Amino acid sequence: MRLLHTSDWHLGRSFHRESLHDAQRAFLDHLVAVVRSEGVDAVLVAGDVYDRALPGLDAVALFDDVLHRLADLGVPTVFISGNHDSARRLGVGAGLIGQAGIHLRTDPGECAEPVLLADRHGPVAVYGLPYLEPTLVRERFGLAKGGHAAVLGAAMDRVRADLAMRPEGTRAVVLAHAFVTGGAPSDSERDIAVGGVAAVPASVFDGVYYAALGHLHGCQTLAPHLRYSGSPLAYSFSEARQRKTMWLVDLAADGSVTAERVDCPQPRPLATLRGTLEALLTEEAYAEHEQSWVQVTLTDAARPSEPMEKLRRRFPHTLQLLFDPEDGGAEPSRSYAARVSGRDDLEIAEGFLRHVRPGAEPEPDELGWLREGFERVREGADRKADLPR
């Protein structure tokens, strides 16, 4: 049986305020094309379909469209909810939608109710384990205490109990949204440590032939039967070197797994550049990044004037600007009075804005408001000085 494993779509998410709507649409077009061209028997989507519990209308429209297209292909698809999704909202109409071959697994109580598929070698039971927040599901699993490992372990015990009653030779596949020990995180995943220790051991998934994991945004293999697909798009600059893919998984008659990566289309390459402003603006080595989404770390000993404006002349898609002076931060060792010596009030206020909002220059309106505020303060001080004592 051929399975297409993907996860962490995060429909509705932007990248440093850059809309990803068109890029997410292009990915979904690509997914449908792969299902058609590669003879996929079932699609597995391991959570975080949406980026937030109340997705915007554009994100809902993307999801609605891909559901119809997958249903039209007649390829069974199994979704689970992730920690970004609202399980109740994502699961609305699950029973009716299931009749079209689109199976939404968002209720923890349905962990042991598989989607039953079959190929010429026999049955395949696909179990969907939605994201399990320990504080919300402990009682449902009969647990008095315990974190992520405990609740996921309890869910998997139910899976194994159900599997034991299935016909001999039934191959089990599980979808789960969790942080499994050994996985490598990036900066764009939401921390799931609230409610208990976040990581769960790989041994939790003993007894199944393939575990399609979601949550971590980098594609990775923890074991031949235990893989993260990663997100189809980069959602932070920490993912700049990640190859964004889906897993095309072949499940053999004996339950053995072979898998290959299928690349996902990317709107732009990502680049993290570091150096002085002059070097970044003049050196030919940086030319290849001129059309990339760029994060820049400036190493100038003194903060340059209008760095973002100057950088965008060469790198028009610069999205984030950081500062790491070559002096290793010696500046803060000086007293505050010494650092602001010679600056007027407006310059000090401008410097404060740049400090608390790295990479963002004060807007003209903000500078106007600051200037007006300082003038009013000075006028008030002058009037007070003119009053008789």
φ and ψ of 206, to 5 deg: -60, 140
What tens digit of pLDDT does each residue of 149-190 get?
999 999 999 999 999 999 999 999 999 999 998 888 877 777
Cα 50 from Cα 62, distance rounded (Å):
10
pLDDT of residue 386: 54
Map out the domains of the chain as residue ranges: 2-263, 270-384
Q: What is the pLDDT of the chain when averaged over all its residues? A: 90
pLDDT beyond 70 at 342: no
Q: Note if the pTM is more than 0.85.
A: no
Instruction: Return the amino acid letter for 277.
Output: L
CA dihedral 314→317→321→326, nearest 10 degrees, is: -40
What tens digit of pLDDT does each residue of 36-77 get?
999 999 999 999 999 999 999 999 999 999 999 999 999 999
CATH of range 2-263; options 3.10.300.10, 3.40.30.10, 3.60.21.10, 3.40.50.1110: 3.60.21.10
Cα 314 from Cα 318, distance rounded (Å):
9
Instruction: Return the amino acid letter for 37.
Output: S
3-state secondary structure of 177: strand
Closest CA to 5 of 105, 182, 151, 126: 126
Cα 177 from Cα 105, distance rounded (Å):
12
Closest CA to 316 of 266, 264, 276, 268: 268
Question: Which pair of tokens denotes residue 303?
Answer: 């903060």
- Percent of the chain residues topping a pLDDT of 70: 90
Cα 276 from Cα 235, distance rounded (Å):
26
Instruction: Summarize the confidence of residues 282-305 as an average pLDDT.
Output: 95
Sign of the four-CA dihedral 299, 302, 306, 310: negative
Cα 166 from Cα 97, distance rounded (Å):
25
Angle between helices 345-356 and 364-386 (to 10 degrees): 140
**Pure H helices in the chain:** 21-37, 57-73, 87-90, 94-98, 134-137, 148-164, 277-282, 307-314, 336-340, 345-356, 364-386
Q: Are 109 and 119 in contact (CB under 8 A)?
A: no
Sign of the four-CA dihedral 177, 179, 181, 184: positive
What tens digit of pLDDT does each residue of 188-215 get?
777 655 434 478 999 999 999 999 999 9
Cα 84-88-90 angle, rounded to 5 deg: 65
pLDDT beyond 60 at 305: yes
